[in-house]
C-alpha cells in the first residue's frame, strides 16, 4: 500500500530533486570540458540544456512553495549559461 505523502515529504523530495539535477549538470560540464569529439560535444550541449530546463522548473516550484526557498544556496538561483 502506498504511503500518502505530506507537504514536508514533498518539499524534501523537491530539494533532493534539485540537488540531483545540480549534480548532473556539474557532471555534464566536466565531460564537456574534457571532450574533443564534435558529436559528443553536441550531445553534452543538448543534455546540459535539458538539465537546465528541468533545473529552472524545479527552482520555480521551490520558489512557489515558499517553504523550501530558504534551504537552497543562493548561487542556485543564478542560472548562468555556460555555452554561448
Domain coordinates in residue numbering, the chain: 24-70
Task: With a cut of 50, say whether residue 42 has pLDDT above it.
Answer: yes
Which residues are CB-neighbours of 58 under 8 A, at least 6 positions away?
14, 17, 18, 21
pLDDT at residue 69 is higher than 60: no
Higher pLDDT, 15 or 10: 15
Residue 2 has a pLDDT of 47
The mean pLDDT value of the chain amounts to: 78
The pTM (predicted TM-score) of the whole model is: 0.69
What gap in Å lies between CA 84 and CA 38, rounded to an integer?
A: 16
Task: Judge contact between 73 and 18, C-beta under 8 A.
Answer: no
Kindly tell me if the per-residue pLDDT of 43 is higher than 90: yes
The yes-or-no verdict on residue 31 having pLDDT over 60 is: yes
pLDDT at 7: 52
Amino acid at each position: 500500500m502506498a504511503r500518502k505523502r505530506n507537504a514536508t515529504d514533498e518539499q524534501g523530495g523537491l530539494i533532493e530533486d534539485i540537488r540531483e539535477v545540480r549534480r548532473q549538470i556539474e557532471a555534464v560540464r566536466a565531460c564537456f570540458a574534457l571532450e574533443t569529439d564534435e558529436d559528443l560535444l553536441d550531445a553534452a550541449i543538448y543534455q546540459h540544456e535539458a538539465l537546465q530546463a528541468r533545473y529552472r522548473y524545479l527552482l520555480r516550484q521551490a520558489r512557489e512553495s515558499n517553504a523550501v526557498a530558504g534551504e537552497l544556496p543562493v548561487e542556485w538561483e543564478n542560472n548562468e549559461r555556460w555555452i554561448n
